[in-house]
Structure 1
Amino acid sequence: MSTLECGIASIYSSVSEETASGEDTSSENFTAAHRTLPFGAVVHVQNEENGHTVVVRITDRGPFVAGRIIDVSQIAARELHFTGLAKVCLRIVWTPPNAGGGK
């Protein structure tokens, strides 16, 4: 698994809303938003500050704040042991066959 990118992660709002993929967000699912990875892609996220890792599935687009590379669900942030923002590195575990970028 090679590193895709490193940067700042933030946490999704706890309010359940429909995502760009059509799924509802949930603070209890290991999901995330990324600007370009295809919906359904599975990504390994490592907190570079403490070494904790988690695997998430891309279900939305974002984040739309300069300097941030991924928004993770609340449960993923808990597993990564961060609140607010964290420096992370992403590695693609799996992408859907014939995956496009989505919306």
Structure 2
Amino acid sequence: MKNNLHTTENRLAGDVAHVRLRRGRGSALQTLLFLVLSCFLGTALPAQPPASSADASPASVKAAPRHLDRSGKSRKGKASYYGREFYKKEMADGTPMNPQSNAAASKTLPLGTKARVTNLKNGNSEVVEIRDRGPYVKDRIVDLSPKTADKLGLKKDGVAPVEVKPMEVPQANGTVKPGAGVQESERGRSSVDVQDSHSLH
């Protein structure tokens, strides 16, 4: 009986040692596999080409919205303007905010877009260049520099209903597409030309 018990204990001890050995090998294999995968990923990821972006500066890549509107269509909404706390702060294109410039911010238009902004209350309009992201307030579609806001007559109220008509819209392939603002002015010119030709006859 003692011999059988001793043999059983020896067998159990041998099994435990075998399991420990197998566990040790499994753990070593997992560690080795992890190191091989880390090395592979470490060399494979930097080899990938960088994502292309029409808004190429590092600051704008961070701020770029998911869906840029490159259609050139006009949009209506509310405009506001930069407060003093934003003066000289870096905009999405990497340049400092100049309150005397024609810089403007849009959530969806590509940086570099030139657009005509018209105050729908008084008809005043100015051409701006989209150089920043925002405004992040519901229903507002453009933030203007204080100088542009003054020219449009919206500084008193701080917010005004506007129409934004893109004129030059940078495309993903590097070209520039004429927008609704250009198409409308071309239609206006052609109707003036037609009237002039009628007055000559």
Post-superposition CA distance 1:12-55 (Å, at most 9, x none)? 12322001111111100001000011111001000000000000
Q: Which has the higher contact order (CA 8 A, sep 6+)?
A: 1
Instruction: Work out which of the residue numbers 68, 74, 97 in structure 2 matches 1:25.
Output: 97
Secondary structure, counterpart of 1:76 in structure 2: helix
Instruction: Name the counterpart of 1:38.
Output: 110
Q: Distance in 2 between matches of 1:26 and 1:70?
A: 16
Instruction: Name the counterpart of 2:31.
Output: none
| Gap runs ≥5 in structure 1 | none
The one-letter code sitting in structure 2 at the alignment partner of 1:86 is A
After TM superposition, the score normalised by the length of structure 1 is 0.89
Measured after TM superposition, the shift of residue 95 of structure 1 is 1.7
Q: Distance in 2 between matches of 1:25 and 1:33?
A: 10
Instruction: Name the counterpart of 1:60.
Output: 132
With over 3 angstroms needed to count, the CA separation of the structure-2 counterparts of 1:78 and 1:28, relative to structure 1, is same
Secondary structure, counterpart of 2:149 in structure 1: helix
Q: Distance in 2 between matches of 1:27 and 1:70?
A: 15
Q: RMSD of the TM alignment (CA)?
A: 1.4
Instruction: Name the counterpart of 1:6.
Output: 76
Instruction: Work out which of the residue numbers 144, 149, 162 in structure 2 matches 1:88.
Output: 162
Post-superposition CA distance 1:72-95 (Å, at most 9, x none)? 000110110111001000101102
Number of residues of Structure 1 aligned to a counterpart in Structure 2: 98
Secondary structure, counterpart of 1:29 in structure 2: coil
Instruction: Work out which of the residue numbers 108, 120, 123 in structure 2 matches 1:51.
Output: 123
Are the counterparts in 2 of residues 3 and 89 from structure 1 also a CA contact under 8 Å?
no
Percent of residue pairs identical? 37
Identify the structure with the greater helix proportion. Answer: 2
2:146 maps to 1:74: yes
Larger CA Rg, structure 1 vs 2: 2
The one-letter code sitting in structure 2 at the alignment partner of 1:4 is S
Using the TM superposition, name which of 46-55 and 74-83 deviates more: 74-83
Q: Distance in 2 between matches of 1:3 and 1:39?
A: 16
Identify the structure with the greater strand proportion. Answer: 1
After TM superposition, the score normalised by the length of structure 2 is 0.47
Secondary structure, counterpart of 2:147 in structure 1: helix
Q: Distance in 1 between matches of 2:169 and 2:139?
A: 24
